[in-house]
Each structure stands twice: as C-alpha cells, then as structure tokens.
Amino acid sequence: MIAALDAHKVRPSILVNNAGFGLNERFDEHGSEWLGAMLQLNILALTALTQAYAQRMKAHGGGRILLVASLAAHMPAPLMAAYGASKAYVLSLGEALHVELAPRVGATVLSPGYMETGFDEASGFRPNAAIKRTALPPSTVARIGLGALFDGKASVVAGNANKVATLLGRLLPRTFMARQLYKSAGERHREE
C-alpha cells in the first residue's frame, strides 16, 4: 500500500491507523495462525505504517497520526489477553511518539470502548447489557479522536464510562481487576 501511494505521489498529512482485529477466547485455545495474524496486524503492520508515514510527514514539513488502541489497552483483558496486550503496545507506542515526533508530527492515541461496529461478531466478544449501554456511535468516537489529535493531546479515552473504567484500572490492583473482568467475561460466555 505504501509503495502504491508513493507511486502516485500521495502525501497524506493525516494518518488514522486503525489496524486491528481481536480474538475472544481462552489464550491456550487460540489457533496459532489466528493469533499470529492478529499480532502481525495489530502490532507489526501498524508499526510499519506509522513509521513510514512519520518519516514522510517529517520530510514534507509535518503531519498528524491518530493511533487507535482500545479500552482493553488500559487493563488486563481475560479472554482477550493477546488482543489487550497488542492494544497496550499501541497505547505505549503512541504516547512515546507524541513526545518523540513533536513538534513536526503530532501523534495521539484514541482508546474507544465497545462500539457496535461488527467487532463483537468477528471476534466472538459477547457484550452484556451494561457494556452495550456504554457504547458510543462510531461517528462520535471518531470526532473525539480527531478532536484530541488537533488539540495536540497524547491520548484520549472516548466516553465517560470508559474514562471511569480506565481510572479504576489504575487505582485497583491489576490482579483484582483481571479476576473481576474474567468473572464477568465468563458469565457472558455461559449465557450463550
């Protein structure tokens, strides 16, 4: 894709890097091919694209990069452990690039929570009613992310309920959070 854009002399000044897919099942039950493909896309492809366009933006006077992480980046994510870890990578990378690439290239990380985008069907995630109530429309999340990008913020969590969850993830012991999230996720799996 980068070569095709270069061949047409396309020089984007904004990159929204929303690479990713998730797997929702026990880590020891993931198919290794699916797990590898997810990590390839969520980490390696995202990193390569970000680096390529950061270099091009810097060479052409500047630009902005919005990396899309997840609420799962901020806390342990039982039954989505590798997905959550891959999105924690995106969060860490983006917050570091916010400082490293400034002032010529702006970098911001957007952490949305659950949205009705088809992610749950594709990943096997089964949101309960409480999670569904926190869902924001994708257009609202996009506005929040772009607003943070143009305001020069390092990171933004979309939605008040998600901000509270992130705060709890910082204040409560991570093992406690992991157990509570696993219990909740297990109950959703049993509801099938």
Tens digit of each residue's pLDDT (9 = 90 or more) over 40-99: 999 999 999 999 999 999 999 999 999 999 999 998 888 888 999 999 999 999 999 999
Domain assignments of the chain as residue spans, ordered by start:
2-190
DSSP reduced 3-state for 139:
helix
Of 78, 73, 5, nearest in space to 42 by CA: 73
Whether residue 161 has pLDDT greater than 70: yes
Kindly report which listed range (6-10, 78-82, 136-140, 186-190) carries the lowest average pLDDT score.
Answer: 186-190
CA–CA separation, 67 vs 11, rounded Å?
18
pLDDT of residue 147: 98
Single pTM value for the model? 0.85
Of 103, 88, 104, nearest in space to 155 by CA: 88
Alpha helices by DSSP H, listed for the chain, are 2-7, 32-39, 46-59, 81-100, 119-123, 129-133, 138-150, 160-171, 174-190
pLDDT digits (tens, 9 = 90+) for 100-144: 999 999 999 999 987 666 555 545 556 556 666 777 899 999 999
Measure the CA dihedral 25/30/31/34, to 10°. Answer: 80
Q: Say yes or no: domain 2-190 is CATH 3.40.50.10860.
A: no
